[in-house]
Amino acid sequence: MIYLLSSSPCYDNDMKRKLGQWAATHEWWALGMILTVFSGVVLGNMTRWSVWFDEAFSVYLARFNIVEIAHFTSLDVHPPLYYWLLKGWIVIFGHSALAVRSLSLAFALVGLIGLYVVVRHITRRSPYALAAVAAVALTPVFVRFSHEARMYTLVFAIVMWATYVLLRAMKTNCRWLWVLYGTLLAAGMFTHYFVALAWLAHWAWRYREVCAGRVKKFFAREWVWCHVLAVGLFAVWLPTAVRQFATIQVGFWIPPITPQTPINYLTDMMFYREVAQMDGWWAIAAFIAFAVVGAVLYFGLRQFIRQSRRGGVALFVSLAVVPPILLMLLSMPPLSSSFIDRYVLYAQIALAVIISGCLLAAAKTHPVLMRHCTIILVIVALAGIGNVYYYGNYNKNTNKSIRASELIANIAKSGKAGQPVVAASPWVYYEASFYSSNTHPVYYPASTINEDYGSLAMLKEDDTGKIADLAAFAKQHRYVWYINVTENEIEPPVASWKLVKKVDAYDSINRSVEYRAGLYDTSAE
């Protein structure tokens, strides 16, 4: 918005100067307005969609104490910090969908403030910082994961504030800043392992800034000791991390790297659509958007670099480029693939910052062109946010839209109080258990657990919702709802059970029914 006004031919240089003075004077008000609008966009989509498996796993895990959380997540793939924080959040705000998802919005806001501080520090200009925050707030993939009960916005917040602390520490060489930086390095590793790629991006940037061919200067005492501190803080979890990578990464569910992966990375960021979905007008829109981004970078990158200090733009370039490239390389055969866009969400955010900075920088020499580029990119962003609203929790790996909440709501309308719900598998149980109630408690048969490691391992040791003897359970409950995710008609777990009624949840995206439930009379012979 600031750029659109400043580049308009209706405004002379004096007006532009006054606009710049207003931005500098009222920058915190402007920042507050951007964050408020962003919060409204996120909150508007926060409760429209059912909690999906990853979120349900997070909430289920948060019911235990901190020691048990560490134990159970050690059987899965991630470290425990986010789950610990989620538990505290739930204790205060409850475990509704709004409550558990709003933690991610809180982290997103903390991260955006950190982003503002970083860009303000490296450019000394509030318009650049405000434009960066606005660009990220309009990035569809960031909007999407700001209302998901997972750790990705926490990673973003840690990376942004660690980046600011690094800039300050290198400038002042203050000991407590280096201690804080080392602590943030460890906090990031306790949140998500691939945040290490952001720290490697910091390494790449620091090498460019301070080395000039002198390795000894790179390994300055303060730099070494802050990493020793980080490793020391993380050491207690390091053996678990090694075991997780050794056990889980073999034959993992993540799809392999293909030539389409880099393009998919960009279409997901800008449109929240997979490459396979970019057909027809969407393909034309993608071509135009990529061309606009190329023009913006071509005309603005050099000027943006000149208007920053201490290699600030190079730092964002490093954050935007190093993590996704390293993650792709680490996902190449013979290694198992680990490349998922959201694992390096902070890199997509860094790219959005670079684009916004280049737009402002190039506006001085190419005002008309950059004004049109800005309009196009805003339209692209709004279309992408529209896709976020449309697809919601759609699982792009399984090509399913999660409808557990609708299914349980339909059971509550059609059934009677006291009729339990039995999930066909632990996978279905996790999603449905989030909506378990006193009138319709959710269970699953113990015989369906077939994993000693991963997301289901927690259920082996926890008896909540577990049916050890299905026959005995049926004797206690004459009428039982049985639910499953299938394209076919639902089949009861016991052949003698008699179907009384059926309900389902319609998937408006796939235009099909896959979430199904049947009410069975378990006493029928």
pTM to 2 decimal places: 0.92
Predicted confidence at residue 348, as pLDDT, reads 97
Which DSSP helix (H) or strand (E) runs through 475? helix 470-476
Positions of the chain with pLDDT under 50: 1-12, 250-251
pLDDT of 290-326, one tens digit each? 999 999 999 998 888 887 766 788 999 999 999 999 9
Which DSSP helix (H) or strand (E) runs through 266? helix 261-271
Predicted confidence at residue 6, as pLDDT, reads 46
Amino acid, res. 206: R
Predicted confidence at residue 35, as pLDDT, reads 96
Predicted confidence at residue 4, as pLDDT, reads 45
Q: CA 447, CA 242: separation in Å to the nearest integer? A: 30
Q: CA 142, CA 133: separation in Å to the nearest integer? A: 11
Predicted confidence at residue 11, as pLDDT, reads 42
Predicted confidence at residue 210, as pLDDT, reads 78
Q: CA 16, CA 7: separation in Å to the nearest integer? A: 8
Predicted confidence at residue 2, as pLDDT, reads 46
Predicted confidence at residue 337, as pLDDT, reads 83
Contact 434, 51 (CB under 8 A): yes
Q: CA 125, CA 390: separation in Å to the nearest integer? A: 37
pLDDT of 79-125, one tens digit each? 999 999 999 999 999 999 999 999 999 999 999 999 999 999 998 87
Both tokens of residue 320? Answer: 């935007």
